[in-house]
Amino acid sequence: MVIDSVMDRPGIMAVVGMAAVAAVVSGAATLAQQAPAPTPAPASPAAVEPAGNRENGKKLFEKYGCSDCHGLLGQGAPTSGPRIAPNPLPLAAFIRSVRVPRVQMPPYTGKVMPDQELADVRAYLAAVPKPAPVTVLAP
């Protein structure tokens, strides 16, 4: 038979096999070009940070005693609280660090300080101006 005579020729089988691979690769490339680009998923409501009121945040920062350890501008101090301004943590991490602090800071539960109040405090800390650059004095 003709098929048997073609199967007995290894060179032809190699060419046929390579042609089949090329067709598959070519077809996959064509499909990839025709496929629409994936659309980004819409942001979930939880991913959107609530807006904070920085004026209220400043009042709360002093009311809850945050300024006692972190300083009036969140600048921190070597013997009390770390610097938390002017670049505070993202809101979710900020809330977590207040709810479950790592060192000496007392935890502030949601009953004591709701998430919106923490968003206000974070807005205040984010609004603190960056310190002036340090200049080196000439000898």
Instruction: Say what the pLDDT of residue 9 is.
Output: 52
Distances (CA, A) of 125 to 3, 8, 117: 80, 80, 12
**C-alpha 101 chain-centroid distance:** 20
Q: What is the rounded CA–CA span in Å between residue 30 and residue 47?
A: 36
Q: Output the tens digit of pLDDT for each of the chain's 139 residues.
A: 545 544 455 554 444 455 444 444 455 444 445 545 555 554 544 455 668 999 999 999 999 999 999 999 999 988 889 999 999 999 999 999 999 998 889 999 999 999 999 999 999 999 999 988 877 665 6
Q: With beta carbons less than 8 A apart as the criterion, state whether 7 and 13 touch.
A: yes
Q: What is the rounded CA–CA span in Å between residue 101 and residue 95?
A: 10
Q: What is the rounded CA–CA span in Å between residue 103 and residue 124?
A: 23
